[in-house]
Amino acid sequence: MVSRSVSGLLLSVSLLAIPVFGQDASAPKAKPHVIILGVNGMELDIVRPLLLKGQMPNLASVIDRGAYGKLRTVSAPNCPRVYSTLFTSTYPEEHGVTGFLVGGITANTNMLKEEPLWSMLSKNGITVGMANVPATFPVMPVNGYMISGMLTRGKNCEDGVLCAPKLSEVMGGDAVYPRSMQAELLKNVGDFYIDCERMPSAADLKGHEAAVIDRWLAKVQLIRDQQTKLFDYLLTQHSTDFTFMVQSCEDRTGHWLYPITPFHVGYNPSINNVRLDAFPSQYIAFDKVLGTVLKHVDANTYLFIVSDHGIKPLREFEEKDPHAHMDHEKTTPVIAKHDFADGDDVPGSFFAIGPGIKNDFRLMGLGASVYDIAPTVLHIYGLEQPMQMRGRILMEIFDGTEHKVAEKK
């Protein structure tokens, strides 16, 4: 284990110069498979009624077979801030990706000051696959592949903030590592959108609300279909020990189509009374994506479904909150958000299945946090948690009598 200052130094070197990885002939033993499926802004207040009504059968089956609960997030949570926390297990002020913009510049991987999980795994001979994880643009070298996600810049999305360039339209850095994989993806998956659709503006909506909402939701579903095809292709053709894939359309939909009532702040019947099922339907659609991913989950695979934060209708302190209106807004009529000063208002969520993970085990309260995911993954691979990590191994999800994680190195 190295000191913080030395590890920072190593990080800056290793991120730039990860060598070409070969198969480690000295370790023929199969390594555990871990898949993390991220869902931006999964809101349990919306998901739980769907589970009760049987409309999310795949997630229900994961809950039956695994551990689940709320996941404590950071203050003023947003996707780049939380995902960077999740994959480094360090405070936002430490890893440097404090929000969508840092010092007026769109957050990018060059700003990352702490070593991310994928780098640690790569250095330990574990193969890594990453797709559409927020704040991974420009992509970084890994022992496998990486396809960037939210904050990828491109045509009609020059700042990369909450918009969707196609793979062929990416500008200002690479969206695919290794670069040679891009042509393969274009051929076999198509020219997919890398992030979810930009939200319409108030001016776009005015007088055409229903048509704009329906067109937007159709685009969101197109993006999800493309993403499902991408995930399925990668899990089939490029199976890796560790895979991390993220969807972001649920959150985007919730911001302006959360099913609020006239009691809530910002209610406008011409928008908020048009498609009351728009936001819940995102999770029903997510459940189908989960079904596709579950086809790749065998008895020896760990699957973690994680959400970086929830999302709730606007609430008190909103106008006085220094974090209010800092992201997502532009000119969209936002009725729900997540960057509240108290992150406990909008906890994320966590679901886990895999060898040695308890069945139907509920994590009560906010004892598990976004800081704990990276240490828990390292634990599964038998790797020591480095000093800088702020989280802990979620030991309580493992069944002590059937603990099959890798031997410590």
Interface positions with Zn ion (CB under 5 A) = 251
Q: How far is the CB of 276 from Zn ion (least distance, A)?
A: 20
Q: What is the dihedral angle through the alpha carbons of 178, 183, 186, 191, rounded to the nearest 10 degrees? A: 80
Q: At what angle do helices 44-52 and 278-294 cross, to 10 degrees?
A: 70
In the complex, the smallest distance separating the C-beta of residue 78 from Zn ion, rounded to whole angstroms, is 6
Query: CB of 322: closest distance to Zn ion in angstroms?
Result: 18
- By beta-carbon proximity to Zn ion, the closer residue of 121 and 260 is 260
Q: Which is nearer to Zn ion, 195 or 251 (CB)?
A: 251
In the complex with Zn ion, which residue's Cβ is closer, 114 or 251? 251
CB of 77 to Zn ion, least distance (A): 9
Please tell me whether residue 154 adopts helix, strand or coil conformation: strand
Residue 115 or 251 having the CB closest to Zn ion: 251
The answer to whether 310 and 342 are in contact (CB under 8 A) is no
Instruction: Work out how close the CB of 61 gets to Zn ion at its nearest, in angstroms, rounded to a whole number.
Output: 28
Strands 336-337 and 312-313: antiparallel
Shortest spacing between CB 385 and Zn ion, in angstroms = 29
Position of minimal CB gap to Zn ion? 251
Backbone angles phi, psi at 194, to 5 degrees: -85, -30
Nearest residue (CB) to Zn ion, 197 versus 251: 251
Is-contact 142 20, C-beta < 8 A? no
The string of DSSP codes covering 211-257 is: HHHHHHHHHHHHHHHHHHHHHHHHHHHS--SEEEEEE-HHHHHHHHH
Indicate the residue among 209 and 251 with the shorter CB distance to Zn ion: 251
